[in-house]
Structure 1
Amino acid sequence: MVKTVGKLTLKDVAAQLGVSNATVSNAFNRPGQLSRELREHILDQCRVIGYPGPNAAARSLRTGKTGIIGVMLSNYLSYSFSDPVAHQFLQGLAEVFEEREYNLLVMPSRDHVKLTSGYESFVDGFIVYGPPQPQKLDQLISQHKSIITVDFEIEGCVSVNIDNYAGALACAEHALASMSPAGHAAILGLRINDQNRVCRLEEGLLFGESTITIQRLRGFQDAAKTYKMPIHPRMIWQIPDNTHKQGYQAAKEALMSNPRPEVLLCMSDRIALAALQAARHLGLRVPEDVKITGFDDIPESHTQHPTLTTVHQQSKDKGTIAAEIFLGMREEKSLVLATELMIRESCP
């Protein structure tokens, strides 16, 4: 076949290859509609004659679809890609969309990136991971496109969540059951109030009941009430970002308190792993002198020594399920996924 000179249309290509217009279109846009052999044959011939495929802009005008999904993250881009839980979520999301040849446009919430640039109008819909800044959420809603939320809820949208309260309750009940009658526990919280620094909970309003960390806090506190060991606000630390540095600072302050807590209930594995290091630096043995628990079950939780007692959440599955709901591969309804307590060396 001789390479054709000039601008080819989809109709021209279909005529040259002796197939229908729809077959050529499906080879580029809906590969699942053709056999692998037929699709590869059509794509090979298109390369020979110099046809790059249907014009994306024209296709989007015709169908109203671009094949691009907006993913709004609740934090800075750099933070979201370095955080193990966010990384697993994005992996689950990407695997589903990649297999079906969709593209992702990742958008931060806390960076100084404005949605007014117009790219939010170009996507087919949004998956929103964690509550973004209110004004950015309002801008997404104003687009009147499909929105699926993960780790939070908004009225009228399908959501994918885990049972944060039940996971925290089970973890705290396990830890507090082995504490001495005169013992004390401390909570190393994460974004539970409006203070942008590591501090005790004494001042600052709690965020709304729907946030995941407030649900975890309620689980910890209810377990403490069950064992008649209420945890005073002075023994609850606010940590604004899920980083080793801030977790270490809060853990060191807690472990140097008088009386020293026998149990540290941490709202993330990153914080708990930082607490393990702080305990070692203070000459404390885990679990003999202090028991430490986490939440998330990231890979490092079972490779460190001592291994970390934590709550396993289905981070990757959240991404997979959100993507499948968006694409119509699952029923369009909200889901709450179960958690599982993983008992290991840090709090046997």
Structure 2
Amino acid sequence: MAHQVPLGAHPRPLGLGTLRPLPRLDPRAAAPHGADDPRDAPVRRPHRPRAHRGPRGPRRLPLRDPGHGQRRPRDPRHAWTGPRIVNGIQVMGGYLGNLLGGGVTLIIYGVAGWTPAILFLAVITALPLITLALYREPARDAGRVQPTLGQAFRALGNVLKQPGAPTWALAVSPLSLCGITVLSSLISAALVDAGWNETEIGTLNGVIIGVAGIAGGLIGGVLIRRFGRSRTLAVTGSSMLVATVPFILIAFGGAPFAGTALAIGLVMFAYTALSTVMLTVSMDYARPATAGTDFTLIVSIAQLASFLASALSLVAAEHLGYTGVAWFSIVLTGAALLLGLRHLRVHAAFLATRA
């Protein structure tokens, strides 16, 4: 019985061994007549890969020919555990700690004093120990070569030899983190000068920023999964720049609580979504054999730069004022956005092999 083949496709004989998909079959060529054309119906043979048509046009074949450099599709069970979503969860976790350890602790202090606040802080600090005690590290893959200590240290010297890695680690990532660090380091000092009390500052720095950060981290991971790194970087970076302008005008120009809280919430929501992109690309540069070393080095460079920026921002504020330094933070974020978009465009081919 003849094999059923969609019109427009070019059948090739099957070997006597393992059945293989049609490696050069383009679903668009196999279905040029529109989504409703009966000739676009899928092949009904149970062991042949099928070219599907949907309302938005052709989808990819369910299996690609490894000989043509295509990877097999990811297991759908892992769709929400990839680096994009995981980095979003990592960002969320950091701001959950900020919410509890910063905001809630200061609110408790304002209501009940230091003793209940410190006890609460001790309890939430001990909670992760339960997870650590119950965690069982999975067995190491016997086929995977584990790096020696010397190899791990040598990896520090050659991780930046990858295409685009120096620009990302030494410019894009530090500029992004320094932009928000310069801005956030001014907030508490400026609000104290504006007459805010501890409870109000704790609510803003802990609760408002914490909730916005948790939401932004989650949304950032979803956006990367749906639209990719470049588009997510463009949207989140631009949103942060736009949100920072009213925040500067409100927070350093009278600082009403409601307006300041709303403005900083929008800034931090956009930033945490942006930082998810930054961490995801940094993870792209982490090579499998020395992933922990590579990722830590790239992230640590940005962290060290942010510590220096935080210290210098308060010194600069004495001479330029809060507003002048805050406007400079926009310059840093804008530079990170432009360099980051260019970086992802220039090194797209390399990063696609590491994603």
What's the TM-score, normalizing by structure 2?
0.28
Counting strand residues as a fraction of each chain, which structure ranks higher? 1
User: Hey, which of these two has a bigger chunk of helix by percent?
Assistant: 2
Q: TM-score scaled to structure 1, two decimals? A: 0.29
The structure whose RCO (Cα within 8 Å, separation 6+) is larger is: 2
